[in-house]
Amino acid sequence: MNIETRLLEPTTEGLTTAADILRAGGLVGFPSETVYGLGGDARNDRAVARIYEAKGRPSFNPLIVHLADLEAVSRYAVLGDEARRVAEAFWPGPLTLVLPLRPDSGLSELVTAGLGSVAIRLPAHPVTRALLRAFDGPLAGPSANPSGKISPTWAEHVMTGLAGRIEAVVDGGACEVGVESTILACDPPVLLRPGGIPSEALEACLGVPLALGGDADKPSAPGQLLSHYAPGAPVRLEARARQGDEVWLGFGHDCAGAELNLSPSGDLVEAAAQLFHLLRAADVLAGGSRRIAVAPIPDHGLGRAINDRLRRAAAPRP
């Protein structure tokens, strides 16, 4: 499929056009506080199938459903007491909850990959929320990039990866958080993917330590595939210095000579926001013949999400 992809402004006119495209079964790239998503009507089998087609995504990998408000959640999922406590503390925001699916939800089975649960998020980005209100329905929205490649944090990243495959992209500027949402299953609480909400904050809310879950072979939530978020160049982690002609992606002030630095001051928030953008920049510098080396990242707070993405970027390619 090769279609004209329109770049829409986040105005009333632009969002109305985007909502009309979605209602007609089309696909729209949209901004969020985490990364850009690829939106389609979560009730429309054909629209969801087109998401998989546009991304080249394995059909066994479930999608996140984006909703405008907490009241809408009960139409599609069962929100227990524990899940509600977490939702009220962190929604809207970069948190996805995996909840029991209502049998009469009306969601496409392709969204849930045939599972009895559904991943739901209430995004905080004002443009996303305005689009959800204009569309007035559940929006399936994985990251708006070819499957397994670097996630997009600018509208131009979406255009580079998906132009000709989708109808439009709403340009909402750069994403603030820069890594995908944290994914949490409840009853009992299990961390399925680290992300924009640090696990320490979730543990403080729940009053219990989080178990770790996830299966790269049979994902129960998005972002669990072993090789994911990958640039074209091979990636070496924990690089305290450059080897040979590597492109060195630094972190902190001890990386003199690094071509790029996620945060010269060692700020994990800045590093998360810069991660995918600078991985793309490093891939360009690598030019198809050099390796990317990434400096060590502290493994706490947002550092856990950054390291999760880096480990998947460095994993053996399928």
- 212 or 265, greater pLDDT: 265
Q: Kindly tell me if the per-residue pLDDT of 247 is higher than 80.
A: yes
Residues 308 and 172 in one domain: no
- pLDDT attached to residue 214: 60
Structure tokens at 7: 């770049």
CA distance 57 to 219: 13
- pLDDT attached to residue 216: 47
Number of domains in the chain: 2
pLDDT tens by residue, 17-60: 999 999 999 999 999 999 999 999 999 988 988 998 898 866 55
Structure tokens at 137: 């329905």
pTM reported for the whole predicted model: 0.79
Domain with 179 in it? 6-212
- pLDDT attached to residue 276: 82
Within-domain flag for 227: no
Residues 73 and 196 in one domain: yes
- pLDDT attached to residue 302: 81
Within-domain flag for 308: yes
Last residue of a domain, one of 212, 246, 266: 212
Residues 243-259, mean pLDDT to the nearest whole number: 95
Last residue of a domain, one of 212, 246, 263: 212
Residues 170 and 80 in one domain: yes
Residues 258 and 308 in one domain: yes
The enclosing domain of 175 has a CATH number of 3.90.870.10
Last residue of a domain, one of 179, 212, 245: 212
Residues 178 and 113 in one domain: yes
pLDDT tens by residue, 162-186: 999 999 999 999 999 998 999 999 8
The sheet carrying 95-100 orders its strands as 6-8, 168-170, 28-30, 37-41, 139-140, 64-66, 117-121, 95-100, 182-185, 190-193, 211-212
